[in-house]
Amino acid sequence: MTAMYSRPSYPRKDYTLNLFDYLDTRLETFDEAPLTPVDSAALSQFCMVRGEGIIPAARNRANGLVDRLHALVTRPAHFSDLHRAENYDGLFCGLAPGDVRRELAALAASPRFRDLELRDYASVFDEKSNTQFAAITFVWRSPTAASNNFAYIGFRGTDDSFTGWRENFEMAVDPPVPAQRLAAEYLVSVARHLPRRLYVGGHSKGGNLATYAALRAPEEVRTRFAGVFDHDGPGFKQGFLSERDFEPVLGVTHRMVPEESVVGMLMETPVPTRVVRSSAHGLDQHNVFTWEVEGEDFADAERLGSSAVFTHEVMSEWLASLGEEELPRVVDALFKAIEASGARSAGEVIFSGQNAPALLGEAARNIDQESRDVLLPALKKLAAAVARAGVRGITGRL
């Protein structure tokens, strides 16, 4: 089961600061104040920017010497380069492109972030193999002491395409999925020419990729980790990884979810989970720009909300009810129904909350009979899991 903790109870305050306020007011450089979870959230969310042709591309060769020489002679990009890009309007993707656009302006102006180097951009999108992957490396080179240098390796979350969401569901079917393998390969490849101190992080699926890449890194890379950040990312298929797999990085891994988390409650992880406040409600809390900031860190919540616990219980029970042979067929049928629904993106259906089962059931009328015969029984199992979880909740309150 997902590991969790909650802070001691305290009177709730009205926090008004958010990630944008932090970017506007945090003026210290990274020499003056170390990287925080809020910094990590900002950088991981920025990975939703399409950097082709602006951020130097990652090398595909596994030649350490060539990679290091290439890194030395290649001019890195900075946030201001993207702010001035000719294709500026086409840079932003994901569930909150407008917020990422606003973030870019703040990062380019910030004394804390504006001197970061952006390099080793990588992006793979392949509908045939259901692959959606991207990563950016951010490097801080201290003007005063080389010992302060570090690199932050950030992985992109889901970009709201049908392919991206299909790969998310494949994580529960047959991991590792292509993006997980690419993340592990990317981390090892770029680490060769980066400062010794490494941070790894991501938001949503990117948080899962960051964790997986860290777990699969060789010891000579793992010993360089100063922090691994998972911002509301899904866990892993039950049985895919053991608690022993997590032991080498457990002490430096920071996992956080908002009070009403949905994505972060999917599947399993033994990593202790910190619960933070959000000014939004329900599924909108997945957006890190709604997470409340107190001082130099996120504001802690008292506990995980009942809706998040409900989501974890329902999805765990539903996935467990689907056999190993049945689950891949259900995912195939599910995405046929999502495409048949007429939605512009998979997120329109997946993030429709309580309306999702009804929308899928309606869309199932427009798919082939074989797929319908697979999907409808699975949706009935989901409805039954929802009903049982509801009864348990009522019984618990009584």
**Sequential pLDDT tens for the chain (398 residues):** 444 433 333 344 454 799 999 999 999 999 999 999 999 999 999 999 999 999 999 976 455 555 555 555 578 999 999 988 988 989 999 889 999 999 999 999 999 999 999 999 999 999 999 999 999 999 999 999 999 999 999 999 998 788 998 999 999 999 999 999 999 999 999 999 999 999 999 999 999 999 999 999 999 999 999 999 999 999 999 999 999 999 999 999 999 999 999 999 999 999 999 999 999 998 899 999 999 999 999 999 999 999 899 888 988 999 999 989 999 999 999 888 888 888 777 777 766 666 667 777 787 888 999 999 999 999 899 888 888 877 666 555 54
CA dihedral 85, 88, 94, 98 (to 10 degrees): 130
Sheet with 273-276, edge to edge strand ranges: 117-126, 131-140, 150-155, 198-203, 225-231, 253-258, 273-276
Q: Characterize the bridge pairing of strands 253-258 and 225-231.
A: parallel
- Taking 3-state DSSP, the helix, strand and coil percentages for the chain, each rounded to the nearest 5, stand at 50, 15, 35
The rounded Cα 22 to chain-centroid distance in angstroms is 20
103's enclosing H/E stretch is helix 97-109
CB 341 within 8 A of CB 371: no
DSSP assignment of 319-374 equals HHHS-TTHHHHHHHHHHHHHHHTT-SSHHHHHTSGGGHHHHHHHHGGGS-HHHHHH
Q: What class does CATH assign to 19-303?
A: alpha beta
Among 113, 101, 88, 85, CA closest to 24 = 113
- pTM, to two decimals: 0.91
Give 323's contacts (C-beta < 8 A, 6+ positions apart): none
Q: Could you tell me which of 326, 328, 327, 355 has the C-alpha nearest to residue 341?
A: 355
Nearest CA among 292, 263, 279, 113 for reference residue 202: 263
DSSP 8-state secondary structure symbol assigned to residue 7: P
| Every domain of the chain and the residues it spans | 19-303, 322-397
Q: In this structure, are residues 114 and 108 in contact, taking their beta carbons and an 8 Å threshold? A: yes
